[in-house]
Amino acid sequence: MRDSFEIRDGDALGRIGRLTVPRAGVTVETPALMPVVNPNIVTVEPRRLADEFGAEILITNSYIIKSNDDLREQALAEGLHEMLDFDGAIVTDSGSFQLAEYGDIDTTTREILQFQHDIGSDVGTPVDIPTPPDASREQAEEDLAVTEQALADAESVEVGEMLVNAPVQGSTYADLREQAAVHANDTDLDVFPVGAVVPLMNDYRYDDMVDVIAAAKRGLGRDCPVHLFGAGHPMMFALAVAMGCDLFDSAAYALYARDDRYLTVRGTEHLADLDYLPCSCPICAEHSPEDLRAAGDEERERLLAEHNLHVTYEEMRRVKQALRSGNLLELVEARARGHPRMLDGYRALLDHAEQLEREDPVSKGAFFSLSHESARRPEVLRYHDRLARLDAPDSLLATQGGTPRDHDYDAVWRLVPPFGPVPRALSDTYPLTAELPERVDRATCEAGADGVAAFVESHSEVELTVAHHDWPESALERLPASVAVEDLLDVESGDR
Ligand SMILES: [Zn+2]
């Protein structure tokens, strides 16, 4: 077990965790956002990040510090915490980004980790190779070999209590990501960044991002804290947390502000296009779009950066509360409606329902069926799998509503789409207490029929009658031939 990370509560693959950072003497509650602090251009002072935004952890770049004579000397003399004036945990990146960007850097994993240790970093990073999405297989494999060597080098550096990142690369090859994750998991390193996903996020390829995270999660132990490197847009926090990411870093708040871009949980707006500020943070409460547009460049950048931070932290709190309340997937579903590509991300998550099901808690808040996608959630899959375990009488009616007049069944169960037949004894247990719209959609009825089919498969001796409420033909077609079918609409309008 990795003793620096403790899991408190879960929903889907998401979890509330506690990351102990011994060198800083702090415990960070995850999911956590780490604002990126560029030591050359400080947009919002780290002290304010802590006091006004509640930042417990931030990330800065040791390579930038090491490459600048003044910063290097100051960091070595005072230590990072005093230099940045921040008491929380400080994570340092290594220059891998610069390596990917410029093709060359003048440091090694051993040297930069030693430097990170010497300036008082709490979580250091080796020099891995961030292989971009869609690289050739050959390239991805070659780079991964270098990254794996960097992890081995990192293990050999004496860094005391400093935690060390073990980045997981492998481009968009799921098997390579999984292999890289297994390798990283086998090291004695501490935190597991999933790297090189920024190009996917910049291109709104949230489905590919989900596949990459799913592959990494398959190779990592449950006790591995996972950092989604470069992920700072609030619109994707719910999705990424539901996939099991624990740490996020945001350079977006400052970079977007520089371009007059205003973050929201549904996407990014340009200040020039805003007639209203759809937010109640202190900045938006006190300013109108005209005020912001009229401010000087530096002032406008700072104000936008502060709004961006407020909305980012707010969404992270909302995600954590949803996780705690057991309705994270409802939030993911709501966020998926903000942008068609987010919907792709949610649909990709549902493709991994089996993987999610293995960790999803048995009991949560209320299951809200909010769209036809809800019928593919891990809770539905789990119920279909477990129907085989139920004891059933010889003759059984599963009904969505009333009981036919000449009732002669051994027992009457509920028929609950998208789950299927539900014994009375389970009616009050999650997720069978699901709230459905009055107008149930086709996919939900079809999933209910699949539940009936799964039941029949394991209970072939049971004489089953299904009384449905106006199911479409496509759902009725999925019912096994042995099942007797009644339409409750006929019963209601008939000769009762
Ligand atoms: Zn605001």
| Out of 42-56, 272-286, 478-492, least confident range | 478-492
pLDDT classification of 490: cutoffs 50, 70, 90:
confident
Distance (Å) from CA 42 to ligand 1 centroid: 20
Query: What per-residue confidence (pLDDT) applies to 496?
Result: 43
Distance (Å) from CA 318 to ligand 1 centroid: 15
Whether residue 467 has pLDDT greater than 60: yes
281 annotated ligand-binding residue = yes
Distance (Å) from CA 282 to ligand 1 centroid: 7
Query: What per-residue confidence (pLDDT) applies to 90?
Result: 98
128 annotated ligand-binding residue = yes
Query: What per-residue confidence (pLDDT) applies to 318?
Result: 98
Distance (Å) from CA 446 to ligand 1 centroid: 43
Query: What per-residue confidence (pLDDT) applies to 394?
Result: 96
Query: What per-residue confidence (pLDDT) applies to 493?
Result: 61
279 annotated ligand-binding residue = yes
Selecting among 11, 69, 87, 93, the annotated active-site residue is 93
Could you give the percent of the chain with pLDDT greater than 90? 93
Distance (Å) from CA 194 to ligand 1 centroid: 30
Per-residue three-class SS string for the chain: CCCCEEEEEEECCEEEEEEEECCCCEEEEECEEEEEEECCECCCCHHHHHHHHCCCEEEEEHHHHHHCHHHHHHHHHHCHHHHHCCCCEEEEECCHHHHHHHCCCCCCHHHHHHHHHHCCCCEECCCCCCCCCCCCHHHHHHHHHHHHHHHHHHHHCCCCCCEEECCECCCCCHHHHHHHHHHHHHCCCCEEEECCCHHHHHCCCHHHHHHHHHHHHHHCCCCCCEEECCCCCHHHHHHHHHCCCCEEEECHHHHHHHCCEEEECCEEEEHHHCCCCCCCCHHHHHCCHHHHHHCCHHHHHHHHHHHHHHHHHHHHHHHHHHHHHCCHHHHHHHHHCCCHHHHHHHHHHHHCHHHHHCCCCCCCCCCECCCHHHHHCHHHHHHHHHHHHCCCCCEEEEECCCCCCCCCCCEEEEEECCCEEECHHHCCCCCCCCECCCCCCHHHHHHHHHHHHHHHHHCCCCEEEEEECCCCHHHHCCCCCCCEEEEHHHHHHCCC
**162-218 pLDDT, tens per residue?**
999 999 999 999 999 999 999 999 999 999 999 999 999 999 999 999 999 999 999
Distance (Å) from CA 405 to ligand 1 centroid: 60
Distance (Å) from CA 287 to ligand 1 centroid: 9
Query: What per-residue confidence (pLDDT) applies to 407?
Result: 76
Distance (Å) from CA 263 to ligand 1 centroid: 9
Distance (Å) from CA 277 to ligand 1 centroid: 7
Whether residue 274 has pLDDT greater than 50: yes
224 annotated ligand-binding residue = no
Q: Annotated catalytic, 291? A: no
**66-89 pLDDT, tens per residue?**
999 999 999 999 999 999 999 999
